[in-house]
Copies of this chain bind each other. A is one copy, B any other.
Amino acid sequence: MSARRLRPQPLTREAFAPYGDVIVADAGSEHFTINYGQTERYHNLATVDVAESDGAPIISLFRSTPLAQPVSLRIMERHPLGSQAFYPLSPRPYLVVVAPPGDFDADKVEVFLAQPGQGVNYRKGVWHHYCLALEDVSDFLVVDRKGPGNNCDEVELPDAPWTIDL
């Protein structure tokens, strides 16, 4: 089998549902007014699931440099003990590459193009590529797990590298 070429699809709640949450303030989110009318709260947009094996939630910032174009992929990873949320802080799109949890299935890898203002929360155990900034160095706010135990598995893509057609 020759190296694969993947094409991103738009990131929507529906398409991403098998992998986790899309974090976005839109009409499709539960929202209500607080702070004596000054604030609209788009509520509980992601399930932070990090308590397994004495885990606890932490907030970190990631500063990611884009890969050279064309973007080529070799490795995917998963966090068996906790969810991991990314929210973009830079006004640039980024790539989200995922595959279902369980035994890694190379035929089920999907690529999404996330727009500024759209975050993602990978459910526990979902295979994903590491943070794929586009255009320029970009910051992300990350909510994931600290705690004991091995929380990162990696798998090598067959016939790597795979290429993303943007």
Which A residues are closer than 8 A to B by beta carbons? Answer: 23-25, 29, 34-36, 38-48, 50-51, 56-67, 75, 85, 87, 89, 117, 119, 121, 130-131, 133, 139, 141-143, 146
Contact of A43 among B50, B51, B60 (CB under 8 A): B60
Counted per complex, copies of this chain come to 2
For the complex formed, measure the closest distance between the CB of A29 and the CB atoms of chain B, giving whole angstroms. 8
Given contacts A34-B130, A36-B130, A141-B141, contact A41 B25 (CB under 8 A): no
CB-based contact A41/B60 at 8 Å: yes
CB-based contact B143/A143 at 8 Å: yes
CA distance A34 to B51 in the complex (A): 23
For the complex formed, measure the closest distance between the CB of A23 and the CB atoms of chain B, giving whole angstroms. 6
Interface of A is mostly: strand
**25 contacts across the A-B interface (CB closer than 8 A):** A34-B62, A35-B130, A35-B131, A38-B65, A38-B131, A38-B133, A39-B63, A39-B64, A39-B130, A40-B62, A41-B61, A42-B61, A42-B62, A42-B63, A43-B58, A44-B146, A45-B59, A48-B57, A50-B57, A57-B143, A59-B85, A59-B121, A59-B143, A89-B89, A141-B141
Give every chain B residue within 8 A of A60 (Cβ-Cβ). Answer: 41-45
Give every chain B residue within 8 A of A57 (Cβ-Cβ). Answer: 48, 50, 57, 143
**What 10 A-B pairs have minimum CB-CB distances, sorted nearest first?**
A35-B130, A46-B59, A48-B57, A25-B61, A42-B61, A39-B64, A57-B57, A44-B58, A40-B63, A39-B62
Identify the closest chain B residue to A152 (Cβ). Answer: B34
Give every chain B residue within 8 A of A87 (Cβ-Cβ). Answer: 59, 89, 141
